[in-house]
Amino acid sequence: MNPDSQKAFEAWMDDHLEPAASEFGRYWYPLTVPTFGRDEIAAAMDCLVNYRTSMGALTREFETQFARYIGCHDAVMVNSGSSADLLLAYNLVNPLNPRLEAGDEVLVPAVTWPTQIWSPLMAGLKVTLVDVDPETLNVDFDDMRRRLTPKTKCVFAVHLMGNPIDMKLMKQFCEEHGLLLIEDCCESLGSKYDGNHVGNFGLGGSFSFFFSHHMTTMEGGMVTCHNEDDADALRVLRAHGWSRGLQTPTTGSQSGSANPSVVDDRYRFVNWGFNLRPTELQAAFGLEQLKKLDGMNDRRRELAARFESYAESQSWFGSFETPVAGEASPFALPLLLKGDAVGSRTELLAHLEEAGVETRPVVTGNFARQPAASLLGPVDPTDYPGAEWVHEQGFYLGLSPMMDDLKIERLIRTLDEAYAAVVRPTQVRKVA
């Protein structure tokens, strides 16, 4: 526990801005509750009143502090976690330093957020879905071996719902088959494996600061990297292919050169690129949130542990398993139906929603069942039995560090009531 982080979080808890009662509509247990308050708002207002809005010194300070927190060489902030995925993928096919070629195959889990699929696909790579293990919600290593082809060149590892992958097995797999590794950590900020933060095991990792995530800049994301060449390449890709902001400056003319054939350094473009830049307001938010991150994550673990003790006593649902060397940073409360509740997901979710508990499927469910899966070519959803099980029997509930213990206790009672109302009457009818 970081004492400063805990102190900052407790101060915020004691003096937070109470959200309007109507903010969450009919939900007394929403997916998330705001974790920002006066400090973040004041930091953002300071940017506005001083007309510091475009990406600048605060962004760089946030990148530096975030890299220090994760334990990586450097970090590059972008406008969303999805943009972080996009930069990871395009850095693989960077024309100035290509690691992969068009048509090379990337393995991506079948249960994930779609930007982990679209990013390599948009970069000209072939995406092959891999089944997941319902016990962990993460990639099934046996299925990953089955899906290897001579064209397989990379694995996009996704640490889903805050649960770290067994990175010892993942690294062994990649090294055995000569594969590159990139990591999506958008739902797993604070998760570790063998004492190291996720995002440190491959070429780079993506993180998201969306409103409901472990920390927020409203929208925003970060890419971690492990050498200066990748850091500069990501900065160029982030902003139009522009050389501005590189930590290793390019050589060229200064402004006002008398030679019209020389490119002015202020507008020097050295590669292709996007415009994925964040704002100073987002960075200001992030710097304040980072102070509270350890405290917020510890509170998430505390609430999740209380829920887990309840889950272990139930015969009708279970939750995921974490690797022995892993430390989860819970993003939400995922549930997988089992026993006599199997097949009752639709009715249970309807009951919970009616009772004021907000629910969601486990992200995309089996992505092979999504309409857009046709963009990957022929895919048969039944080829992914683990993902099918998650699709049909899985859902998740919110987990916010701002939730109090009484709400978790009420949630537990509401789940008991849902089971009694939906599943038990069905069993009575079957017996009769």
Where do the domains of the chain lie, and which CATH numbers do they carry? Answer: 3-290 (3.40.640.10), 293-431 (3.90.1150.10)
249, 266 Cβ separation under 8 angstroms = no
Q: Which of 133-137, 246-250, 354-358 is the least confident region?
A: 246-250
Contact call for residues 128 and 106 (beta carbons, < 8 A): yes
Residues 64-89: what's their mean pLDDT?
A: 98
Dihedral sign from CA coordinates of 27, 31, 35, 37:
negative
Confidence (pLDDT) at 55: 96
Based on C-alpha coordinates, what's the Rg of the chain? 23
Among 212, 211, 218, 100, CA closest to 156: 100
159-200: pLDDT as tens digits: 999 999 999 999 999 999 999 999 999 999 999 999 999 999
| Cβ atoms within 10 Å of 111's Cβ, excluding its own | 32
- Cβ-based neighbours of 180, under 8 Å, separated by 6 or more: 92, 99, 100, 153, 154, 155, 174, 202, 203
pLDDT (0 to 100) of residue 48: 96
Distance separating alpha carbons of residues 413 and 423, to the nearest angstrom: 15
As beta bridge partners, residue 395 has 335
pLDDT in tens, 35-76: 999 999 999 999 999 999 999 999 999 999 999 999 999 999
Banded pLDDT at 247 (limits 50, 70, 90) = low
- Report the DSSP beta bridge partners of residue 354: none
Residue with tokens 């092959």: 128
What pTM does this model have? Answer: 0.92
Distances 203 to 73, 199, 220, 225 between C-alpha atoms, Å: 11, 9, 21, 6
Closest CA to 54 of 285, 286, 281, 287: 281
pLDDT tens string 360-403? 999 999 999 999 999 999 999 999 999 999 999 999 999 999 99
Segment 397-415 mean pLDDT: 96
| For residue 20, pLDDT beyond 50 | no
Give catalytic residues, as residue numbers.
213
Are the beta carbons of 329 and 353 closer than 8 angstroms? no
